[in-house]
């Protein structure tokens, strides 16, 4: 009889332990999803600024059609992308396009001196800072979640909820100046 009580007690203790481990994974997963919504809000704020940037730059640099078309394609792709991995690639391309437009502005003193362009630059810089802040929070939550999924006791209960490790959101906007762009072109030409 005592052995049965000990067995039942161990069984209840194991179930309680598994429930706590499972709930810790659920909480960590919820934090990741919540922090992703913060990243998403900031990315949408940036999307709202892109059409104004295109319009402002197009007024000054009418013969730079290729850069503007690339910006529009990147904007459309980023606006319609779904899933975190697809979104990451699309947002990286949009960041590259914005960097190209900023480099283009250096070749047009009137555009660079324009109050509207300057205001958009400040807004984009603010939004980029907010994106980086939200991205750091998201990646921190992903790190915590992944350590729970891969660590003990998560490794024992993760299959119950279909928990899998998640990827980080990397978005590295490249701010290039005209000088940097010409140097990059020289390096690419030398490498070819």
pLDDT in tens, 96-133: 888 888 888 888 888 777 888 888 888 988 998 999 99
In percent, the amount of the chain with pLDDT more than 90 equals 26
pLDDT, position 136: 94
Summarised one tens digit per residue, pLDDT across range 93-103 is 998 888 888 88
pLDDT, position 69: 86
Token duo for residue 51:
């059409």
* DSSP track, 47-73: HHHHHHHHHHHHHH-TT-HHHHHHHHH
Contacts of 186 (CB under 8 A, 6+ apart): none
Q: What is the mean pLDDT of the chain?
A: 82
Angle at 53 between CA 47 and CA 58, to 5 degrees: 135
pLDDT, position 135: 93
Specify the CATH number for 2-191; select among 2.120.10.10, 3.40.50.970, 1.20.1440.20, 1.10.3720.10. Answer: 1.20.1440.20
Residue 138: closest CA among 37, 35, 40: 35
The Cβ of residue 93 has, within 10 Å, a number of other Cβ atoms equal to: 18
pLDDT range class, residue 189, cuts 50, 70, 90: very low
In this predicted structure, the answer to whether residue 46 has a pLDDT above a threshold of 80 is: yes
Rounded Cα distance between 114 and 119, Å, is 9
What is the number of alpha carbons within 13 Å of residue 42 lying toward its C-beta? 22
In this predicted structure, the answer to whether residue 62 has a pLDDT above a threshold of 80 is: no
pLDDT, position 174: 42
The Cα-based distances of 44 to 25, 143, 180 in angstroms read 29, 24, 28
Angle at 60 between CA 182 and CA 62, to 5 degrees: 80
Token duo for residue 137:
């929070």
Rounded Cα distance between 126 and 136, Å, is 15
pTM value is 0.75
């Amino acid at each position: 009889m005592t052995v049965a009580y000990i067995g039942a007690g161990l069984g209840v203790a194991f179930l309680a332990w598994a429930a706590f481990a499972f709930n810790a994974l659920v909480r960590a997963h919820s934090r990741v999803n919540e922090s992703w919504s913060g990243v998403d809000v900031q990315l949408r704020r940036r999307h709202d600024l892109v059409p104004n940037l295109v319009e402002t730059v197009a007024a000054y640099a009418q013969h730079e059609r290729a850069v503007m078309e690339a910006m529009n394609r990147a904007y459309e792709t980023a606006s319609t992308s779904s899933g975190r991995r697809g979104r990451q690639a699309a947002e990286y391309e949009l960041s590259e396009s914005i960097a190209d437009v900023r480099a283009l502005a250096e070749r047009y003193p009137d555009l660079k001196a324009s109050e509207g362009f300057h205001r958009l630059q400040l807004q984009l810089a603010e939004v980029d800072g907010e994106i980086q802040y939200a991205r750091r929070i998201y990646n921190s939550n992903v790190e915590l979640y992944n350590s729970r999924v891969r660590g003990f006791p998560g490794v024992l209960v993760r299959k119950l909820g279909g928990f899998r490790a998640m990827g980080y959101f990397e978005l590295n906007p490249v701010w290039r100046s005209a000088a940097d762009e010409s140097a990059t072109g020289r390096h690419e030409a030398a490498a070819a």
